[in-house]
Structure 1
Amino acid sequence: MVISIPSDEAVVVRTPDEFLAMPEEYREIAVRGMIVNTEGELSGGDDYIQVFLPLAPTAEERQVCAERAVEEYDHYKLGKAVLADIGIDTSYMEAQTLSERNLFAGHEFHTCTTWAERGIFSYIGEETAMVMISEFAQSSYKPWANAVRTIIQDEKVHIAHGARVCRNLARTDEGREQLQNALDRLWPGFVRIFGSPRSERSKLAVRFGLRQTTNGEACDLWRAKVTPRIKNLGLKVPE
């Protein structure tokens, strides 16, 4: 017998055992979201160490990159623990290289070559993660919601450091040109993070209380958040 969740029913799942007793469609969508985010946190740590730290112009900035990497790896471990409680092992991710992971495969983040791109990545790009994590913090699967809430403050700091890098560069014409070039190149990858605006899976995630917005709505929310930042730096929002 296949048991579905009525469309007018509020969903609250408090424990791993309750999760495992939920209908398959709920479990499948929840697991996918948790895996994508957990993999992204691990790749985020690798980005800070392998991509951004070598670009850092000073010892102080290298330290900041190293500190942010530690936080990203901690975030990965939180997701790993929540998934382990429902029988999913993510240790295979740790054996993969940054380029081998699927989350941002082919996206431009892992090939950042300038300090301006590092700033744009954190100030504009990491807001994509903040939008999604803020939704996950209200997830109907309470162990996931509780784990993610501890990540939000760290992510605010990551974005703040990106803001500092961008503002420092925006003081000069040359710096603003570097930032605009970085924004133009990375922007399509940021948008792709949200997936297809026509995704039926994202609609089901909202119905099940796993998310608050669909893919298209989340992307619109992100655009609304970052557009004033971009204009404040004297830059143009990409088409």
Structure 2
Amino acid sequence: MKQAILDDEEVVVRTPDEFSRMPRDYKKMLISQIMINTEGELSGADDYALVFLPLAPSAEERQVCVERATEEYDHYKIGKRILADIGVDTTHMETQKFEERTLFADQRMHTCTTWAERGIYSYIGEETALIMIKEFAHSSYKPWAEAVRTIIQDEKIHIAHGARVCRNLSQTAEGRAELQYALDRLWPMFVGLFGSPHSERSKQAVRYGLRQTTNGEALDQWRERVGPRVLNLGLTVPNC
């Protein structure tokens, strides 16, 4: 007998076995959420290893790119394990190229050609991921909530390294111009990662305890968080 989750219930799912007995829309929503995050971690790892590493201006910066890539691959493996426990195989992702991954139909992330874009990617762009991962740490699906807590600290370090790159470049007018161009080019893609601000699906995710905010609320949080960073670098926040 299939039963719905009543509006006054708090949702807590502790094991894969309990997950198997949840309503179909809960299961679809959780799988989609973890799949998107897991694919994003793998793509992020490839960005550091294949896109940013060749741009690095020194051996130290190349080492940082390698370290960040390793962490992102570890994050992918965390998602892969959680999904495997509920019967979802992600190994097909490991042979895909950037353009074949469904998450990043907009390929601007993978065509970064300057060190300024590498800085903006981490300092401004990776904040989108951190906002969502912090929400997942409170997920009603407890194996996922526990797993992502190890990711959060790594993501904070990624953002801090992006901050260092951006601050170094912002010391000159030429560097600020490079940063502004990078920000203007990548900003619409960052905004798009949150999905439609009016999504009914995101409201349902909040109801099920899979999210803490709707798409629109998460986007507002991100704007509030990164806006001061942009201004502090001497840049202008894009209007879109």
* Equivalent residue number for residue 156 of structure 2: 156
Alpha-carbon distance in structure 2 between the residues aligned to 1:170 and 1:8 = 51
TM-score scaled by structure 1? 0.99
Measured after TM superposition, the shift of residue 87 of structure 1 is: 0.4
* Equivalent residue number for residue 90 of structure 1: 90
Please give the secondary structure, in 2, of the residue aligned with 1:238.
Answer: coil
Measured after TM superposition, the shift of residue 230 of structure 1 is: 0.5
How do 1:105-184 residues align onto structure 2 when only pairs under 5 Å count? 105-184=105-184
Alpha-carbon distance in structure 2 between the residues aligned to 1:178 and 1:193 = 23
How do 1:1-239 residues align onto structure 2 when only pairs under 5 Å count? 1-239=1-239
Please give the secondary structure, in 1, of the residue aligned with 2:103.
Answer: coil
TM-score scaled by structure 2? 0.98
Alpha-carbon distance in structure 1 between the residues aligned to 2:195 and 2:28 = 17
Contact 2:99–2:107 at 8 Å: present in 1 too?
A: no
> Which piece of structure 1 moves more, 173-182 or 98-107?
98-107
Measured after TM superposition, the shift of residue 80 of structure 1 is: 0.3
> Which piece of structure 1 moves more, 133-142 or 102-111?
102-111
Alpha-carbon distance in structure 1 between the residues aligned to 2:197 and 2:88 = 28
User: C-alpha offsets along residues 39-76 of structure 1, whole Å, 9 cap, x if unaligned?
Assistant: 00000000001111111011110110000000000000
> Which piece of structure 1 moves more, 105-114 or 216-225?
105-114
Please give the secondary structure, in 1, of the residue aligned with 2:179.
Answer: helix
| Displacement over 3 Å in runs of 4+ | none
Please give the secondary structure, in 1, of the residue aligned with 2:14.
Answer: coil
Please give the secondary structure, in 1, of the residue aligned with 2:27.
Answer: helix
Measured after TM superposition, the shift of residue 200 of structure 1 is: 1.0
Alpha-carbon distance in structure 1 between the residues aligned to 2:148 and 2:7 = 26
User: C-alpha offsets along residues 190-238 of structure 1, whole Å, 9 cap, x if unaligned?
Assistant: 0000000111110100000000000010000000000010000000000
Alpha-carbon distance in structure 1 between the residues aligned to 2:185 and 2:130 = 21
Measured after TM superposition, the shift of residue 162 of structure 1 is: 0.1
- Unpaired runs of 5+ residues, structure 2, are none
Measured after TM superposition, the shift of residue 160 of structure 1 is: 0.3
- Unpaired runs of 5+ residues, structure 1, are none
* Count of residue correspondences: 239
Measured after TM superposition, the shift of residue 2 of structure 1 is: 3.6
Measured after TM superposition, the shift of residue 98 of structure 1 is: 1.8
> Which piece of structure 1 moves more, 106-115 or 186-195?
106-115
User: C-alpha offsets along residues 95-139 of structure 1, whole Å, 9 cap, x if unaligned?
Assistant: 111221111122310000100000000000000000000000000
Measured after TM superposition, the shift of residue 7 of structure 1 is: 1.3
User: C-alpha offsets along residues 131-173 of structure 1, whole Å, 9 cap, x if unaligned?
Assistant: 0000000000000000101000000000000000000000000
* Alignment CA distance shift 1:107-1:198 (3 Å): farther
CA RMSD after TM alignment:
0.7
Measured after TM superposition, the shift of residue 84 of structure 1 is: 0.2
Alpha-carbon distance in structure 1 between the residues aligned to 2:58 and 2:36 = 33
